[in-house]
Structure 1
Amino acid sequence: MARKVDPGRVARMRERILAEAAEVFAMRGFEGASVADVARAAEVSPATVFYYFGDKATLFRSLFEQDIPKAEALVARYADADDAVRAIVDVVESLAKDATDPRAPALLIELLRRTGRDPELLDVVRRSASVIHEGLTTLIERGLESGQIDASLDARETASWLQSVVDAAYLNARPGHCPAPALRRTVLRYLAPENRGGP
C-alpha cells in the first residue's frame, strides 16, 4: 500500500527550506548560492531540496510565488472597506512591511537580475503585481466616486505609481528603519483632493 502524504508535513518542510533559501540567496546571490548551501542551512539533504523544488531556479522562484496568495488575501481583506483612502494606506503599508527585513534589498536585486533570464519568474512577478494593481485600482475608483481622492487622478496610473513607491521603499531599505510613516504621508498627500492637502 502506498504511503499517505501528510500535507501539513509537506507544507512545513517547504516553509523551512524556503526560509533558509531566502537567507542563502540574500547572502550569496542566485549565482553564488547552491542547492547544497540551502540544504545545509535547512539541515536536510540536497536530495530533499530537489524533491520539493526540482532545481535551484524553481527554489528561487518559489520564494516569490508565495507573494501571490498573500497579495490575494490582502486585496480581499480590504475589498469591502468603507474608507477607501484608509484602505489604500493600509494596503501600501502592508506591502512595504517586509522592507525592514535586512534580506529584502539583496533579494530584490537578485529578483531583478533573474527576471530577464527566467520567463516563469517574470510571470510570477507579473501575476502578483497584477493582483495588487487591480485591488488598488478598485479602491482608488471608489475613493474618486466618493470625493475622497483628487478627481484629476487616473485610477490605473495612480495604482501603478503607488506600486512604484512601495518598490522604492525596498530599494532604499535600511535595517531598523521603518518606511511606514513616510509612505503614509506620501500617499495621503498624493491622493488628497487639491483643495484639501493631507494631514
Structure 2
Amino acid sequence: MRTADPDLHRRRSGEIAIAAARVFLAKGFHGASMQDVSREAGVSMGLLYRYFEDKAALIAAAATIDRAPLLAEIAALADITDPVAGLENLLADMVNVAGEPGYIDLVTEVAAEACRNPRVAAVLQEDERALHTALVAALSSHQAAGRLSADADLPSFALLYLTLADALALRLRFEPGQSITALIGPFSPSIRSLQP
C-alpha cells in the first residue's frame, strides 16, 4: 500500500491552485468549470477532485496562494533591528506584489465571491486574522524590547496597516504607473509614530 507524501500533496495542490487562479482570471469564478481547471493544471478530473472537493474549495485555495510568503515576511519583522524601516519596506513589498498583472483582479473577484459564498468568506476571514495576528506578534516583540512605543495600540495599528496595503494595491491597479514610494510616503509619519 502506498503511503501519502505530504510534500508532494502540498506541492501539487499549490500547482492546481495556481492553475485555477489563471482560469478564474480569464473566465471569472462563475464562467470557469472544474474541467477548465483540470485542463489548465494538466491533471485528470479524478485527481483534481482528490485535491479539491468542489469549485468553492478551489476558489478558497486560489484566494490564499500568496499568503505563505507574506506571513514569512511579516514574521521576519521580529528579527530585524529597525522595525520602522521594516514596516516601510514591507508595505512597499505588499503594494509591489499587488501590482503584478492579474493580482488585484483576482483579489477583487475573490472578495466579491466571499460576499456570496460563506465558505469563501470564512477562508478569507481566517486568512486576514492570520495576517493580523502575525503582524501584531512581530511588532509586540519590538515593543517588549523598547524599540516601539509602549503606548502604541498595536492591534489597531496592524488593522490600519493591512487595510492601507489593500487600498494602495487597489489604487495602483486603477492608476498604473504611480510611484510606490509616492503612494506609501504619506503613511510614513504614522509608521514613525510607533518609535519610542
Which consecutive residues of structure 1, in runs of 5 or more, have no partner in the other structure?
194-199
Aligned-pair RMSD on alpha carbons?
3.1
Q: Residue 183 of structure 1: CA displacement?
A: 4.6
User: Does 1:119 find its partner at 2:118?
Assistant: yes
Take 1:37 and 1:110, find their aligned partners in 2: how far apart are those partners?
17
Same amino acid, percent of matched pairs: 26
1:105 touches 1:172 (CA, 8 Å); kept in 2? Answer: no
Q: 1:144 to 1:77 in 2, by over 3 A?
A: closer
Structure 1 window deviating more from structure 2 (96-105 vs 63-72): it is 63-72
User: Cα deviation per residue 1:125-144 (whole Å; 9 max; x = unaligned)?
Assistant: 22222232234335556469
Q: 1:191 to 1:13 in 2, by over 3 A?
A: closer
Please name the residue that 1:192 is paired with. Answer: 192
TM-score (norm 1): 0.78
Which consecutive residues of structure 2, in runs of 5 or more, have no partner in the other structure?
none
Q: 4+ runs of 1 displaced by more than 6 Å?
A: none
Q: Residue 182 of structure 1: CA displacement?
A: 3.1
Letter of the 2:182 partner, please give it.
A
Please name the residue that 1:181 is paired with. Answer: 181
Structure 1 window deviating more from structure 2 (115-124 vs 174-183): it is 174-183
User: Cα deviation per residue 1:119-165 (whole Å; 9 max; x = unaligned)?
Assistant: 3322222222223223433555646985767x7x6433222221111
Q: Residue 23 of structure 1: CA displacement?
A: 0.8
Q: Residue 9 of structure 1: CA displacement?
A: 3.3
The residue correspondences of 1:5-154 to structure 2 (distance < 5 A) are 5-138=4-137, 142=142, 146=146, 154=153
Letter of the 1:89 partner, please give it.
E
Letter of the 2:62 partner, please give it.
L
Take 1:147 and 1:81, find their aligned partners in 2: how far apart are those partners?
11
Q: Residue 37 of structure 1: CA displacement?
A: 0.9
TM-score (norm 2): 0.79
